Amino acid sequence: WIFSIYSFIAFSFSVFSGLLFDKRGSNLPMIIGTIFMSGSYFCLGNCEKYYQFLISIGILNGIGTSFCFTSTVSVISHWFNIRRAFAMSIATIGGSVGGAVFPLILREMYPKIGFGWSMRSIGFIVLGTQFISTLLIRDRLPRKPKVVIAGESDTNDSIDS
């Protein structure tokens, strides 16, 4: 259940994160995704019951993955036209590296500091790496212009002093 819900949320929330990316650029979705992903690992360190694991990994991490993954894939599509597949493979390799490195880190940490602080340490690693990726990601294409409804103004120049 946990990973089925995680996969569903990670892909279905891309509708919302894609809209946010189109309107606000890549930084806001990356910040939201970083908060959700690192927060899910911090919460995971306190989990004791099944539903807590479901909420932490299935829902929180799924939402965070959706926002971060959509932003990184979209930015790559903006920057690369000829070698796009190669660029996307380099960008998504982090998941494979994390899948290989995190179990090794956790194997060493469990006996020394326990489950709770092992998960919190992973949360700090995710927070640090996501912070770096948020700083490095850049938009190339302009954002969508704001739509102004006829008769309305997007400035506050109608307020008399």
Give the pLDDT band of residue 151 (cuts 50, 70, 90). low
d(CA 65, CA 142): 24
DSSP character string of 93-138: HHHHHHHHHHHHHHHHHHHHHHHHHHHHHHHHHHHHHHHHHHHH--
Q: What pLDDT was estimated at residue 145?
A: 65
Q: What pLDDT was estimated at residue 40?
A: 94
Under 8 Å between Cβ of 31 and 71: no
Q: What pLDDT was estimated at residue 96?
A: 82
Give the pLDDT band of residue 75 (cuts 50, 70, 90). confident
Give the pLDDT band of residue 88 (cuts 50, 70, 90). confident
Assess whether pLDDT exceeds 70 at residue 153: no
Q: What pLDDT was estimated at residue 160?
A: 46
Under 8 Å between Cβ of 64 and 33: yes
Q: What pLDDT was estimated at residue 7?
A: 92
Assess whether pLDDT exceeds 50 at residue 10: yes
Cβ-proximal residues to 150 (8 Å cutoff; 6+ apart), any chain? none
Share of the chain above pLDDT 90, in %: 43
Assess whether pLDDT exceeds 90 at residue 157: no
